[in-house]
Chain A
Amino acid sequence: MQKLGKQTIKFDTPPTITEVASIVGPKEANGPLAKYFDQCLEDEFWGEKTWEKSESKIIKETVNLAISKSGIPNNDIEYCFAGDLLNQCISSSFGLRGLNIPFLGIFGACSTFVEGLSLGAIIIEACAKHVLCAASSHFCSAEKQFRFPLELGNQRPPTSQWTVTGAGAAVLSKTGNGPFITHITSGKIIDMGIKDSNNMGAAMAPAALDTLLCHFNDTGRSPSYYDVILTGDLGHVGKEILTELALEKGYNIKSNYNDCGVLIFDKEKQDTHAGGSGCGCCATVFSGYFFKQFKERKIKRILLIATGALMNSTSSQQGESIPGIAHAVSIEL
């Protein structure tokens, strides 16, 4: 493990992503990526009484699925990094309380999944053999906590994003056939003063840009090195902003850049306005779609930059702006 530049770590023996799993809700199941997910739910409650219980069940089942698909016995997994959007991360801690694996709860808003992968990779390089990373979000529990009751008859502005219902989990191992996590670039908190919580993409785009530029600087790579540069949940608005800002800084990412929030929904048919968001967004899109692309050898190098908006309902009521964060992992075969 060695440090490159200011914010990047290069792994000497890059950890493998052995197996992944994803479970999504019904709306995502109607989206363009439906066939890539392991399981699609028919209703958001999934037989539970509350949204929160349902989200816990989603992350629990996703984690169990990832472990059983990997064929690694439960006891051999040494650490679990997981997080979600609910206050004090109750979905993951309640969902995974029966897991019996040392648990390190993390919060990075919607960047949680990649934050987990980063920490997981570091701990594998340091000492562990197998590590589990997971993240979840739920449209209904997120609306309830951050916005309004579901039955309130309000309109969503065109810049607003749709929280993905779903969870993604990945099992990292010291040895394996890849794909490998070769580099991680951890982002700084960047706040450009955007206050509109219905425009998260714009609030997070500068953070994504900062991490992107930092990654290229530290590693000496250029955008064309990667088959795909993938952001977590900038959505349509944020995607356009990041493309333009990067171009202005001298990096043309137009041809190979995409965003999980843009990919997961069909904007016109599903009326999701600016696209998907939430921890579950990049967790499910990566675990569902892109991991399979790796396995089929269709792509070889991805830069996955998950973005997060580090705010809560209290801070936005107090008129605070929205600090953004972005963490990148370079995943290669």
Chain B
Amino acid sequence: MDWLQNIEWMSLIKSFVVGGLICVIGQILIDKTKLTPARILVLFVTTGAILGGLGIYQYLVDFAGAGATVPLTGFGNNLAKGAIKAVKEYGIIGAFTGGVTAAAGGISAAVFFGYIASLISKPKMKKQ
């Protein structure tokens, strides 16, 4: 059972708690404000980008790892971080290329898998 010892339990617990809490914030917003899912996602990605731009979000990422990067705030942070990094390297053009470059993997994957899913599958009635 070597692999069991190799798991960094602490990192898993931290990401569980922080990731869970970020979702709870979203849930409270959904239930209390009647915002649509699209608006919630926009709110989270923008908040993440701003916190990322201010350099605050990085602390959360250092602390909670995937607990901070997997929620959409992490996606926003990634965009902001990428833009800043590219500005450092390429100047003004970096502001336009950096964000998407950093998030390219996620966006491309979602587009590609979305298209594949539409080829192989059909929507079904919700049973409930």
Tell me which residues across on chain A come within 8 A of B126, comparing CB atoms.
150
Q: Are A150 and B34 in contact (CB under 8 A)?
A: no
CA distance A65 to B72 in the complex (A): 52
**Overall SS of chain B's interface:** loop
Interface range for A = 10 to 19
Q: Which of B31, B37, B126, B127 has the most CB of A within 10 A?
A: B126
Q: Tell which of A8-16, A152-160, A185-193 binds the partner.
A: A152-160
Q: Are B124 and A150 in contact (CB under 8 A)?
A: yes
Tell me which residues across on chain B come within 8 A of A26, comparing CB atoms.
125
Among the listed B31, B34, B37, B128, which residue makes an inter-chain contact with A271, where contact means beta carbons less than 8 Å apart? B128
Q: Are A148 and B37 in contact (CB under 8 A)?
A: yes
CA distance A152 to B124 in the complex (A): 11
CA distance A43 to B124 in the complex (A): 9
Q: Could you tell me which residues of chain B, from 81 to 128, have a CB within 8 Å of some CB in chain A? A: 123-128
- Closest B residue to A148 using CB positions: B37
Q: Are A152 and B125 in contact (CB under 8 A)?
A: no
Q: Are A157 and B34 in contact (CB under 8 A)?
A: yes
Residues of B in contact (CB 8 Å), total 10
Q: Mark A137-158, 1 if CB is under 8 A from B, else 0.
A: 0011000000011111011010
A193–chain B nearest beta-carbon distance, Å: 15
Among the listed B34, B37, B123, which residue makes an inter-chain contact with A140, where contact means beta carbons less than 8 Å apart? B123
Which 4 A-B pairs give the minimum distances between C-beta atoms? A150-B123, A271-B128, A44-B125, A154-B37
Q: Are B125 and A140 in contact (CB under 8 A)?
A: yes
CA distance A110 to B52 in the complex (A): 48
- Residue contacts A-B, CB under 8 angstroms, 20 given: A25-B125, A27-B125, A27-B127, A43-B125, A44-B125, A139-B125, A140-B123, A148-B37, A149-B123, A150-B123, A150-B124, A150-B125, A151-B123, A152-B37, A154-B37, A157-B31, A157-B34, A198-B34, A270-B128, A271-B128
